[in-house]
Amino acid sequence: QVQLQESGPGLVKPSETLSLTCNVSGASITNSYWSWIRQPAGKGLEWIGRIYLGGNTNYNPSLKNRVTMSLDTSQTQFSMSLTSVTAADTAIYYCARVISSYYLGMPFWYFDLWGRGTLVTVSS
Amino acid sequence: SSELTQDPTMSVALGQTVRITCQGDGLRNYFASWYQQKPGQAPVLVIYGKDNRPSGIPDRFSGSRSGDAASLTITGAQAEDEAEYYCNSRHSSGSHLVFGGGTKLTVL
């Protein structure tokens, strides 16, 4: 059974860097795309970015200048860091597996597995 | 604001059918996926691709697509279907993924 588990500090000070890790069990980390998604309290989902084998990344343009993702295949985990955080970055952060496929030449993606999420609060 | 537009709230009588719609230019070229989220829980995938359901998702959930819109249909809504529903697809620029703003579904 594949499971994802986020970990990281629950509290980060403004202007500092938020760092999170997603531990993957039951699946190879080298065979899939992996994403981070966040959700401020009472609001919708926001896709942060994705990473896949070779360290190739794709980020949300609204966060591109502040976010970095990486893979650690030896530890079967992937990570993200978000610099210069503000209160607007307070949210539940989810990690998820991304599946990419095609149907009649039309591509599609979906998040088939999610972690439970971890709440990160930005406050002094 | 999201490039994928959803009605913020919808309601359906128990046992009736409801269609939740997601609209955006990117949907002309990419399929949407749909997620159900209940309070305090992580989202769960319910529909992906043309009209595929993951194992364990009831067959009352179905998906469709037309032009710049994608729809999630629940045929014979049950009380446990009350939740927030989000669509996701690729941005029309092709550069990144984006979620719709979500639709809060109430089952009456």
pLDDT value at residue B81: 98
- If we measure between CA atoms, which residue out of B27, B10, B23, B30 comes closest to residue B81? B10
Cβ of B43 and A45 within 8 Å?
A: yes
For residue B50, give the nearest of A103, A112, A116 by CB distance.
A103
Residues 51-80 of A with CB under 8 A from B: 58-61
Contacts of B50 in chain A (CB under 8 A): 103-104
Set of chain A residues whose Cβ sits within 8 Å of the Cβ of B32: 108
Spell out the per-residue pLDDT of chain A, length 124, in tens.
899 999 999 999 999 999 999 999 998 888 889 999 999 999 999 999 999 877 789 999 999 899 999 998 787 999 999 999 999 999 999 999 999 988 888 888 999 999 999 999 999 9
Q: Which residues of B64-82 are buried (b: 16+ CB within 10 A; e: fewer)?
A: ebeebbbbbbbeebeeebb
Q: Which of residues 38-67 of B touch A (CB under 8 A)?
A: 42-45, 48-50, 54
Per-chain mean pLDDT for chain B: 95
Q: Give the nearest chain B residue to A47 (CA atoms).
A: B98
Return d(Cα B67, Cα A47) in angstroms, integer: 24
CA distance B48 to B65: 11
> What whole-number distance in Å separates Cα of residue A105 and Cα of residue A51?
23
What residues pair up with B105 in beta bridges, in sequence order? Answer: B10, B83
